[in-house]
Structures are given as C-alpha cells and as structure tokens.
Amino acid sequence: MKKRYLWLLVLMLGMAPGAQAAQPGQIKQTIGQSIKTREVTQKKAADWQGNKERMKNRYFQLKESIDMGRMELAHMEEVTAKQNAYLDRTRRKVHEMEKIGRELQPYLQQQVARLSGHIKNDLPFLAEERATRIDTLHTILNDIEIPLSEKLRRTFEAMRVEMDYGKSIETTRTEIDYKGQKVLVNMLRLGRTALLMQTIDEQESALYAGGAWKELPGQYGAEIKKAMEITQRRRPVDFVNLPLREIKQ
C-alpha cells in the first residue's frame, strides 16, 4: 500500500505543470513526511474512537449512577418522612408526660398527706412501721433524682398496704399506754373493725375505743386468748365471742 502511494506521489510531482524535476532526496523526504502525517492521522483517529467508546461507557455509567441516586434519594426521603413523623409523635408524648408530671407530683403529695392523716385517725396498730413508711414517702417525693414512675409506684404500694390492713387479722406484741403507764401486751387486730389487747400475764384485757384503751370484763379474757391463738395458728379455727364496741362496766 505504501509503495503504491509512493508511485502515485512521484507521478503527481512529475506531471505537475511547470514543475522542476524533483531530486531523489526531496522525493524521499516528501514521502516520509506524508507517511508520518498519515500515521499521525490514523493514530488520532484511533485515539478519538477509543475516547468515544470510553466517553460512551462513562455516559452510561453516570446515567446508571444518577438513576440509582434518584432511587436512593426517594428512599431516603421516605425514611426521613417516617422519622420526622415518629419524632413528632415522640415530642407530643414527651410534652404530655411533662404535663402529667407537673400535675402528678402535687397529686402524690396530696395522697400522702391524706394517707398520713388517715393513719393518725386510725386504730393505733403498727404505729412505728406505718409512720416510717410515711416518712420514707415524703423523702422520695421530695427527691428530684428519683423518677416520677418510682414515686408513683411507692405511693400506690403504701396505699395498697394500708388497704390490706382492713382485710387481715393478726396478733402482735407491742408496748402501749395503759392506765397511765407503758405496758407490754399482746394486741389482736381484726382488720379495722376492732383492736383488742391482753396483758402478758393474761390478767387484763381491753378494747381500743374513743381514742383510749377501755378495760373489758374478765369474761372476755379467754375468748381474746383463743382468738389470738387462732391467728397464730396454734389452734384450729373456731367461733369466738369478741366485743367490737365499748362495753359498759
């Protein structure tokens, strides 16, 4: 191909009007430049074709990336919308909890105050235990580091304990003020219906009524002792005759 091109170039130079006879060196130089020019042109064409393919591939890659980016953006917008809705619900719940907290704290204080007043006016049993429970509640309610949920739980727990006293029967040994002195006695509590006591020597019995201990006739001593033994499971359940109101001597 190169030889054919060379002969055509020689004929063109020789046939040109008014052209002088070309020297062999000039012809060789001209031919070399022409070949070099053609090679450069072919290389550029090949480079351009390669660049074209690379740009084409790059275009499709970018297009695919853009499509994926759009899909990802749509997904993120959906996720963001859901998260924003969740945050709005959470903010409303927090606001409601804060409102409840502001209202609940005074409510709990009122309930504890009522519970304290109830204990003072109630039958005088487990006085130390019940007073300690109220003092503990006051300390808990005034502690800002204790969660409101724990304050609510402890208050309801104390109320439940007091409520359960009305459904239970028990015998305890305690010290009371009786006839102007401290006396160690066995105390029988029948829920909140009646509170009776018997001295350790079983010589005297009394009923709490009207804010003081009222001595009972001796006939009730055996019945009170029997009831105490039943509550302590020292004898089987049986009927007992107990005074529930003050007995006139």
Question: Where do the DSSP E strands lie in the chain?
Answer: 169-178, 181-190, 194-199, 205-209, 212-215
| 156: helix, strand or coil | helix
Q: Give residues with Cβ within 8 angstroms of 10, minimum separation 6.
A: 22, 27
Predicted local distance difference test score (pLDDT) of residue 249 = 53
Tell me how far apart the alpha carbons of residues 108 and 146 are, in angstroms, rounded to a whole number: 14
Q: Give residues with Cβ within 8 angstroms of 231, minimum separation 6.
A: 169, 170, 171, 188
Closest CA to 155 of 129, 130, 134: 134
Q: Please report where in the chains the tokens 């009776």 appear, as a residue.
A: 196
Where do the domains of the chain lie?
101-164, 169-231
Strand-pair partners of 181: 178
Tell me how far apart the alpha carbons of residues 133 and 122 are, in angstroms, rounded to a whole number: 15
Q: What is the mean pLDDT of residues 152-172?
A: 93
Structure tokens at 186: 């066995």
Predicted local distance difference test score (pLDDT) of residue 23 = 62
Predicted local distance difference test score (pLDDT) of residue 75 = 86
Least confident of 3-17, 75-89, 165-179, 233-247: 3-17
Q: Give residue 49's pLDDT band: very low, low, confident or very high (50, 70, 90).
A: confident
> Taking 70 as the threshold, does the pLDDT of residue 109 lie above it?
yes
CA angle centred on 211, ends 232 and 122, rounded to 5°: 60
Least confident of 5-19, 55-69, 151-165: 5-19
Q: What is the mean pLDDT of residues 40-59?
A: 76
Tally of CB atoms within 10 A around 124: 17
- Long-range CB contacts (within 8 A, 24+) of 143-150: 148/101, 148/104, 148/105
| 188: helix, strand or coil | strand
Amino acid type, 153: R
